[in-house]
Amino acid sequence: MYYFKHLIFVLYLYSWYSAFADESMVSYEIIDFEIPKPLTNQLGDPIKGKIIASSRKGNCLACHVIPEVDEMFHGTVGPSLKGVGSRYNINELRLRLVNPYILNPDSIMPAFYKVKGLEKVDKNFYGNPILNAQEIEDVISWLMTLKSE
């Protein structure tokens, strides 16, 4: 009985924490494999987006070649980001960052704006997205500057 009461209490706390953690998440709608509406009312800042993508916060360099970033090592697991702003529109890029599993359930790219249904989440990130809504908008604004020549 003691175990059962503790289990119920832990489940109650977990459900309360999950609801509280999702409170800061902005809802969005996916239409035709795009998220057509920005996650914030503030325009994305491409300068901030480049900083996020180049830093450990976004960690894009771990998997992608980024032509504008002067780093010795770039990842090669994902496609190069050269010209990505010409290959996709901003709404397609928003979905790719928010939740790439919608497009490819086997993707190894993380869902940068998802908190539920994830496995092996570091305790420092549990209940929080990797990037907040404004950071998503900043990164996609920067990605849109990467046009093909």
**Phi and psi dihedrals of 34, rounded to 5?**
-140, 155
Q: What is the DSSP letter of 78?
A: S
136 closest CA partner among 32, 25, 30: 25
Q: What is the pTM of this model?
A: 0.79
Strand ranges inside 8-149, DSSP E? none
Q: Is the dihedral of CA 130, 114, 69, 45 positive or negative?
A: negative
Per-residue tens of pLDDT for the chain, all 149 residues: 544 444 344 333 333 333 334 557 899 999 999 999 999 999 999 999 999 998 888 888 888 988 877 776 778 889 989 999 999 999 999 999 999 999 999 999 999 998 887 777 778 778 889 999 999 999 999 999 999 86
Domains defined for the chain, CATH in brackets: 2-143 (1.10.760.10)
Write the CA distances from 94 to 40, 65, 120, 149, integer angstroms: 12, 19, 24, 23
CA–CA gap between residue 10 and residue 23 (Å, rounded): 20
Q: Are 81 and 67 in contact (CB under 8 A)?
A: yes
- Judge whether 65 and 112 are in contact, CB under 8 Å: no
Question: In this structure, what DSSP letter does residue 108 have?
Answer: -
